[in-house]
Structure 1
Amino acid sequence: MKLAMAQINPHVGAIEGNTLVILQTIAEAKAQGADLVIFPELTLTGYPPEDLLLRPSLKARVERSLDEIAMATDGIAVVVGYPRHEEGKLYNAAGFFDGGQLVGEYFKQKLPNYQVFDEHRYFTPGSELMLVDFLGVNFGVSICEDIWHPGLCEDYSQGEIDVLINLSASPFHQNKQSERIELLQQRASEANAAIVYVNQVGGQDELVFDGGSLLVAKDGEILSELIRYEEQLAYVDINTDDGVKIPATERAAELSYLDSAYQALVVGVRDYVNKNGFPSVVLGLSGGIDSALTLAIAVDALGAERVSAVMMPFRYTSEMSIQDAAEEATTLGVDYQVISIEGIYDSFMKELAPHFEGREVDTTEQNLQARARGVLLMALSNKNGSLVLTTGNKSEVAVGYSTLYGDMAGGFDVLKDVPKTLVFELSAYRNTLSPVIPQRVIDRPPSAELAPDQKDEDNLPSYDILDQILYRYIDCDESRDMIIAAGFDADDVHRVVRLVDVNEYKRRQAPIGVRISQRGFGRDRRYPITNGWKPGI
């Protein structure tokens, strides 16, 4: 038997378009002599479809597509994921189609409701196993979260299956692939069967699906691993002459921590821009490290011809920043413009002068600079149809070191889940591929350049310390007292925790961005803006 693993990039909600891709993939697999082709979880709708699952027309549209898929299974079998309405309930389903017929159907039993998942809102859990004898091989079927729980594999082991199929839509976070491999090796042992794990690939709003589909032998050996972050139709042979044997095929090259994070950011930007139909992007290029890294990611995702950068200098902008921004834009070959905000700022201040009379200069004047830049970028966006990419990193977003309607103005924040220390690491990593960020941008102390000789660490702990505190408080849910007990300065901890808590209202108004950690600012972390919680214990 020749089995095809279809690691594809579905478009959420585009049922007819996804169906066309499925049919094309079936035809390609059949032309290559495949007997069975396996697709990811909810391929028909894309994942996660969220409240599109509640649309009244969903049932009819899915059933029409499933009829088309069934008709394509002449000489090749298909396992595909879709939502199934049955007796007033909705199930996350996988169907086994062969010879124009649905020969088996499985309903997902373990519905995740944590981190970015919210499946209990939509689906009813299934309760039955699905066993299919196909060309002498006994298959069992499961869906994504099912494989993360031991009970189902143990139940399937009683059926003496040869291969357990797992249709998956598993989003990326750092170190996720190593977690999957360790898990699948354990589950293969429990099921006493090989596992074919087919994961989707591509970006969907803040989520990135990294593929990395796997074939694991029942003794835990990794027989096949597909390329991460790319669509791929891969083939494996199953020999049934003397029991079921699956020879090893090629494994994709292992990705480093930085390579994996960088590719996730590139895919997240590419698919958000392309799937939403934006012809191009524009961003403010300040000469600092955040905008430099954002520019590099945008060009790698979309190509230089679809990226514009704008330097918007003011009296506090250093000559070094102006030079570095121009060098970055020239090196990457993007459209580059310089628009001063001096006149805009002076006009604002002239009109506000009577209302500011008798008051000291403070952050208001700094915020006006950022807001002048935001107005320019949004005007260019409106005129050209470009998506504005904002450049705030996770550390800044966490503590509110950003300006509403200023540097937060835009549609997509590329670095929203990237701590500042990781920004430095990724910038150095990107330069190993080709030098695009001047070294002094990486080496110089970070500054928003909104006041004379300003440095980020004038108002914040050093980023090395800040990011550790933020990780403990946000990602690990440690209390203020726990963080202090771990050896961090009490004043720093009190200040950082307070900044995180009081800036929830800003984060609610911020653009979405690529999620690469286990606790991003988005679907993962839903704190009420108005609350009286005390973070000390």
Structure 2
Amino acid sequence: MKFLLAQINPVVGDLEGNAKKILNIASKASSISADFVLTPELSLWGYPANDLLLKKNLIKNQYQILDKLASDTNKKYGNLSITVGIAELINDSFFPNLYNSIALVEGGEWRIIARKIILPTYEVFDEKRYFRSEEKVSVLIKKIKNQTWRLGFTICEDLWVNKNIEGRGIHRKNPIVDLKKKEVDILVNLSASPYTLKKLELRSKVSSFAAQYLQVPLIYVNQIGANDNLIFDGNSFILDKNGSTIKQLKSFSEDLSSWEIEQTKPEKKEFKNSEMSSIFDALVLGVKDYAKKCRFKTALVGLSGGIDSALVSAIATAALGSENVYCVSMPSKWSSSHSKIDAKDLARRLKISFKSIPIENLMNSFEESFIKTIDFEMAEITNQNIQSRIRGTLLMALANQEKHLLLSTGNKSELAVGYCTLYGDMNGGLSVIGDLYKTNVFKLCNWLDSEDSINHRKSYMLDTNVDIIGKNIRTKAPSAELGPDQLDTDSLPPYSILDNILKGIIEEKKDLQQLEKDGYKKDLILKIISLIKKAEFKRKQAPPILKLSSQSLGSDWRVPIAISY
């Protein structure tokens, strides 16, 4: 039996477009005499479809599209079999009234062969809002060339059943244990598993465990692409019965790969990525797909000469091409000469459009208007926020007029403690590095300017003969430059300390006592906890944040604003 693994990038809600993509893949499968095409979880819808799943007309259209896909496949490619991820309607009076299902398209018809058993409700996942859980495991008996195969089908979370690996505890159901009794020949897992740091390692472990436990090969097919704040990395693979890799598909890129079940020798082709290179790839894909799927052709960045906006500009250039990135410097009287120079030099190295709009006169107009009309003199923090909001207004005006996607440049450290200005530097349609702590911003920039990034820079058409970010930007002390001789450390502890405490609170869910045991002072911990609480209203109004960690401050951060604890 010959499989074609289809690691595809569907557009959420574009059922017709996604069906056409699958039909095109069927053509390629037929050309290599494949028997079976495997597509990811909810491949007809794109993942996550969220409340689109509540639209009755889309559910109805889905079946018509599936009928046409089955008919077209049979007419053009004969007996080819294709798995398609769908939202199956349950005809009863209970809610939710859908299954997360796999349809098998073959012979001009389609039928359901598997339904998802374990529905995740952690991090960004909210599947019990839409789907009902299946009770039984799914086995497809498939006869190919006079041989009968028993294929065990699982969907994404159904594979994540080992608490010693994933660390979230035990699910009530265990499809892998149940499949042991079914004596399957192959285990298939069709997924839409988003990228997060260390996810690939965890995936490999849970998959290896399942393959070894069942003593069968495992085929894992994952979605790629970015949908809003979620980035799907692909990285599909095939393991042998001992849990060793036979085949590995590409990271952060669509890929098709065939495999015959008799093939047990590992392929030499390997795609090795470091943590920093994977983060860069993820963010580039996040910007590229968000822009494309939201129909933006160009991006705008407020370029200060600091490291955050420099990194976002580099990511945007890699994602969209230098001809489609526009940067604006908006210096005030507090902007240092080196920041002005650094901003201009970075734009030159990236070969992107650069303009400067000084804001000192605008700032003076604000100050004079307040004094003359209401005898109001702006205090230091108000003055600083007005500067940021002037810049935010200018950027939004340019984005509005020129139809640019404005990219927000704030990092996770700032967003966590509220060291950012609502309706100012938080403006934008997408927060690119909002799930990247400041210390990791420095690490990523150091990697980008190192020899280790050369191949990546070549692939993204970035200059390999010069530093991209530049030593001046990478080594200067962080500053918002909203006041005389201002540094971030005037208001915050050093980022090397701050980020460790923030990670302890946000990702690791540590309390005061645990952080004190880690060696941090009580007063500092309490100050940071207080800052996190006070900034909640800002985060609720932030643009979508590209998710990199197990706990971002975006849609998976569900903390109320009006709280006391």
**TM-score scaled by length of structure 2:** 0.91
Per-residue CA deviation, residues 277-332 of structure 1 (Å, 9 max, x unaligned), is 01211010000000000000000011011110000011111110111100110111
2: CA distance, partners of 1:128 / 1:64: 27
Equivalent residue, structure 2, for 1:47: 47
Tell me the SS of whatever aligns to 1:57. helix
Contact persistence 1:307–1:334 (CA under 8 A):
yes
Please point out which of 255, 265, 268 is paired with 1:232.
255
Deviations 1:19-75 (A, max 9, x none): 111111111111122111100000000000000000010222110121122221423
Summarize deviations over 1:52-103 as a string: whole Å, max 9, x none: 0000102221101211222214231111211110213210000222222335
CA distance in 2, matches of 1:154, 1:101: 32
Structure 1, unaligned stretches of length 5 or more? 240-244
Partner of 1:468: 500
Moved more, 189-198 or 384-393: 189-198
2:322 matched to 1:318?
Answer: no
- Whether contact under 8 Å (1:104, 1:130) holds in the other structure is no
Change beyond 3 A, Cα 1:360–1:33: closer
**Residue 394 in 1 paired to residue 412 in 2?**
yes
Q: Tell me the equivalent position of 2:294.
A: 276
Amino acid across the alignment from 2:472: R
Cα distance change of structure 1 residues 352 and 360 upon mapping to structure 2, 3 Å threshold: closer
Counterpart CA distance in 2 for 1:130 and 1:308 is 52
Indicate the residue corresponding to 2:239 in structure 1.
Answer: 216
Aligned mates of 2:281, 2:243 — CA distance in 1: 28
Aligned to 1:242: none
Q: For structure 1, which segment, 188-197 or 296-305, has the greater mean C-alpha deviation from structure 2 after superposition?
A: 188-197
Aligned-residue CA RMSD (Å): 1.4
CA distance in 2, matches of 1:368, 1:173: 36
Partner residue of 2:151? 139
- Which residue does 2:18 correspond to in 1? 18
- What corresponds to 2:161 in structure 1? 149
CA contact (8 A) 2:371 2:377 kept: no
Task: Compute the displacement of 1:250 (Å).
Answer: 4.2
How far apart, CA to CA, are the structure 2 residues paired with 1:334 and 1:359? 39
Distance in 1 between residues matched to 2:513 and 2:362, nearest whole Å? 46
Q: Does 1:112 align with 2:116?
A: no
Deviation of 1:190 after TM superposition, in Å, equals 2.0
Contact 2:161 2:206 in 1 (8 A): no
1:268 positional shift: 0.6
Structure 2 Cα separation of the partners of residues 307 and 204 of structure 1: 21
CA deviations on 1:463-508 (whole Å, 9 max, x unpaired) are 0000000000111111123212321122221111110011100000
Give the match for residue 5 of structure 1.
5
Of 69, 79, 104, the residue aligned with 1:75 is: 79
Show CA shifts across 1:163-189 (max 9, x none).
Answer: 111110000100110111111010112
Give runs of aligned pairs for residues 80-99 of structure 1, distance below 5 A: 80-88=84-92, 89-99=97-107
* Residues 1:261 and 2:295 aligned together: no
User: How does 1:135-534 map onto structure 2 within 5 Å?
Assistant: 135=144, 136=147, 137-149=149-161, 151-239=174-262, 246-354=264-372, 357=375, 361-432=379-450, 433=453, 434=464, 435-533=467-565
Contact 1:412 1:511 in 2 (8 A): yes
Q: Do the aligned partners of 2:120 and 2:157 also contact (CA within 8 Å) in 1?
A: yes
2:131 matched to 1:123?
yes
Q: Alpha-carbon deviation of 1:104?
A: 4.8
- Structure 1 stretch displaced more, 370-379 or 347-356: 347-356
Letter in 2 for 1:302: L
Letter in 2 for 1:118: D
Partners of 2:12 and 2:264 lie apart in 1 by 34
Cα distance, 1:160 vs. partner?
1.5
For the residue of structure 2 that corresponds to 1:124, the secondary structure is coil
Q: Which residue of 1 aligns with 2:461?
A: none
Say whether the 8 Å CA contact 2:225–2:252 is kept in structure 1.
Answer: yes
| Change in 2 beyond 3 A, CA 1:104/1:140 | farther
> CA separation in 2, counterparts of 1:407 and 1:58?
38
- Distance in structure 2 (CA, Å) of the matches to 1:518 and 1:138: 35
Q: CA deviation at 1:411?
A: 1.0
Q: What 5-or-longer segments of structure 2 have no aligned partner?
A: 163-173, 454-463
Cα offset, 1:358, TM superposition: 7.1
CA contact (8 A) 1:171 1:210 kept: yes
Q: CA deviation at 1:211?
A: 0.4
Deviations 1:349-394 (A, max 9, x none): 1111146747573211111111110111011011100111110000
Shifted more, 415-424 versus 255-264: the winner is 255-264
Tell me how far apart the structure 1 counterparts of residues 309 and 368 of structure 2 sit (CA, whole Å): 30
Q: Which moved more, 1:163-172 or 1:359-368?
A: 359-368
Q: Which amino acid is 1:92 matched to?
A: N
Task: Find the residue that maps to 2:343 and give its secondary structure.
Answer: helix
In the alignment, the residues of structure 2 paired with residue 147 and residue 486 of structure 1 have an alpha-carbon distance, to the nearest angstrom, of 34
Q: Partners in 1 of 2:373 and 2:187 — Cα distance?
A: 71
SS at 2:182's partner residue? Answer: coil
Change (3 A) 1:158 1:251: farther
The Cα shift of 1:405 comes to 0.8
CA offset at residue 342 of structure 1? 1.2
Q: How many residues align?
A: 528
Identity between Structure 1 and Structure 2 (%): 39
TM-score by length of 1: 0.96
Instruction: Give the counterpart letter for 1:110 in structure 2.
Output: I
Q: Which residue of 2 aligns with 1:102?
A: 110
Q: Secondary structure at the residue paired with 2:520?
A: coil
Does the CA-based 8 Å contact 1:236-1:246 persist in structure 2?
no
For residue 5 of structure 1, give the secondary structure of its aligned residue in structure 2.
strand
Secondary structure in 2 aligned to 1:336?
strand
CA shift for structure 1 position 195 = 1.0
Query: SS at 1:273's partner residue?
Result: helix
